[in-house]
């Protein structure tokens, strides 16, 4: 860890994070919403944005994946900014791309609160948000107001958009529901991610069944080609970590034949072994953070050993060593969410210094875990 990153890390974990974790009566969701509102203000302030970028975005390593030029390998995972409030801030904070959403065709409140739980002892989070978001039309309006057009870099970095199923839509109509969102948002997205792996919408993971996924991905890929035959928007598929090897093999074959441009591995897990005994361990929802790291890497390694499709690695990345291990597993890009909650901007700065096949930048004399 370099001296400047060490100072960022120490300042966040010793000063800012304790304040955030105690704010709003300790309600994680209220703190999350307040932080996004603050990021929106930061993003709209050009001098502040420029100052942050000079500090935090210096070491991004450009890479081309699925035909997209990313200024850095580290991205904002879906769920952190569902409605695009931080559009202009993420690049200044050092990220090389941001995946907005998950968004649904209709706005919806999501599951009842409380629905977000921190497990600091395990550097983990459990959530059962249920795709709470303002809807595809609202996100399209925000992107249009920001002058975003696919590939124009209007907000300083590529944007992915994660699509999910509206909770009230029957599973039999899921493809039409995703297609409605796709039609509203594809013109703004550098890539689209199909979220069929969240555990928080009843029945959603059944869309990972081969026939259902083949229809869904095939329909979106065909629509992308119809809209822009020469340069269709890439469609990625986000997979659950709880799938068996046989199921992953089958889904990989489906994604390949249906024309998916890549994969996102993985979503949150239903497993609780690593946090057994914690007071929140029995909360319904998906577990993310450090306990997911080993399984997420295993899934990425399994997939990349069997396909040339690029894989975005996400799950349990909280240190440079975690990022290195994910790259070594074959990930082309990294995404963070829980790690950013626990480590802050220093994590992104550490990860930006990594290159595939290269050493980590950890300095044992400056770690403070």
206-264, pLDDT tens digit by residue?
Answer: 999 999 999 999 999 999 999 999 999 999 999 999 999 999 999 999 999 999 999 99
* pLDDT tier at 303, thresholds 50, 70, 90: very high
Which range marks the domain in which residue 142 is found? Answer: 33-358
Residue 107 clears pLDDT 60, i.e. is over it = yes
- Does residue 324 belong to any structural domain of this protein? yes
Measuring CA to CA, which residue among 154, 152, 155, 181 is closest to residue 166?
181
Does residue 73 lie within any of the structural domains? yes
Binding residues for substrate: 82, 127-131, 195, 200, 267-268
pLDDT value, residue 4 = 84
Binding residues: 78-82, 102, 127-131, 162, 195, 200, 238, 266-268, 289, 316, 337-338
pLDDT at 1: 78
With respect to residue 57, please indicate whether it lies within any of the assigned structural domains.
yes
List the binding residues for FMN: 78-82, 102, 162, 195, 238, 266, 289, 316, 337-338
Q: Which residues are part of the catalytic machinery?
A: 198
pLDDT of residue 364: 30
Residue 359 clears pLDDT 60, i.e. is over it: no
Residue 14 included in any domain: no
Look at residue 26 and tell me if it is in a domain: no
pLDDT value at position 248? 97
Is residue 125 pLDDT above 60, yes or no?
yes
203 in a domain, yes or no? yes
Number of domains in the chain: 1
| For residue 119, pLDDT beyond 90 | yes
State yes or no: pLDDT of 340 exceeds 80.
yes
Share of the chain above pLDDT 90, in %: 93
Q: How confident is the model at residue 3 (pLDDT cuts 50, 70, 90)?
A: confident
Given a cut of 50, whether residue 5 has pLDDT beyond it is yes
Is the residue at 2 inside a domain?
no
Q: Is residue 358's pLDDT more than 70?
A: no
Asked if the model's pLDDT at residue 63 lies above 50, the reply is yes
Are the beta carbons of 59 and 349 closer than 8 angstroms? yes
Please tell me whether the overall predicted TM-score, pTM, comes out greater than 0.75 for this model: yes
Q: For 129-174, write each residue's pLDDT tens digit.
A: 999 999 999 999 999 999 999 999 999 999 999 999 999 999 999 9
The reported pLDDT for the residue numbered 180 is: 98
CATH assignment at residue 272:
3.20.20.70
Residue 127 lies in a domain: yes
């Amino acid at each position: 860890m370099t001296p400047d990153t060490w100072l960022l890390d120490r300042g966040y974990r010793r000063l800012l994070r304790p304040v955030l974790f105690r704010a709003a009566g300790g309600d994680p969701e209220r703190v999350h919403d307040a932080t996004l509102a603050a990021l929106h203000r930061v993003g709209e302030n050009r001098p502040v944005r420029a100052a942050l970028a000079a500090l935090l975005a210096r070491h991004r390593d450009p890479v081309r994946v699925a035909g997209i030029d990313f200024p850095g390998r580290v991205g904002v995972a879906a769920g952190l900014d569902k409605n695009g409030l931080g559009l202009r801030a993420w690049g200044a904070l050092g990220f090389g791309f941001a995946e907005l959403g998950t968004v649904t065709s209709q706005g919806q409140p999501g599951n009842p609160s409380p629905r977000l739980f921190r497990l600091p002892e395990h550097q983990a989070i459990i959530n059962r948000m249920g795709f709470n978001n303002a809807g595809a039309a609202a996100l399209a309006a925000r992107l249009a107001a920001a002058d975003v057009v696919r590939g124009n870099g209007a907000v300083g970095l590529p944007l992915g958009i994660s699509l999910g199923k509206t909770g009230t839509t029957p599973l039999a109509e899921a493809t039409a529901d995703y297609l409605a969102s796709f039609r509203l948002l594809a013109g703004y997205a550098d890539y689209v991610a199909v979220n069929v792996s969240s555990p928080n919408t009843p029945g959603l993971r059944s869309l990972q069944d081969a026939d259902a996924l083949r229809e869904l991905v095939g329909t979106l890929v065909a629509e992308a080609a119809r809209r822009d035959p020469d340069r269709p928007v890439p469609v990625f598929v986000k997979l659950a970590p709880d799938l068996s090897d046989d199921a992953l093999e089958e889904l990989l074959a489906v994604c390949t034949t249906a024309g998916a441009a890549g994969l996102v591995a993985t979503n949150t897990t239903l497993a609780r072994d690593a946090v057994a005994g914690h007071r929140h361990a029995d909360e319904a929802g998906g577990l993310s953070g450090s306990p997911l790291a080993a399984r997420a890497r295993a899934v990425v390694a399994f997939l990349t050993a069997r396909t040339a499709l690029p894989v975005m690695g996400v799950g349990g990345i909280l240190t440079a060593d975690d990022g290195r291990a994910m790259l070594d597993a074959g990930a082309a890009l990294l995404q963070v969410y829980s790690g950013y909650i626990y480590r802050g901007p220093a994590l992104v700065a550490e990860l930006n210094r990594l290159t595939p096949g290269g050493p980590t930048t950890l300095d044992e004399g400056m770690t403070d875990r």
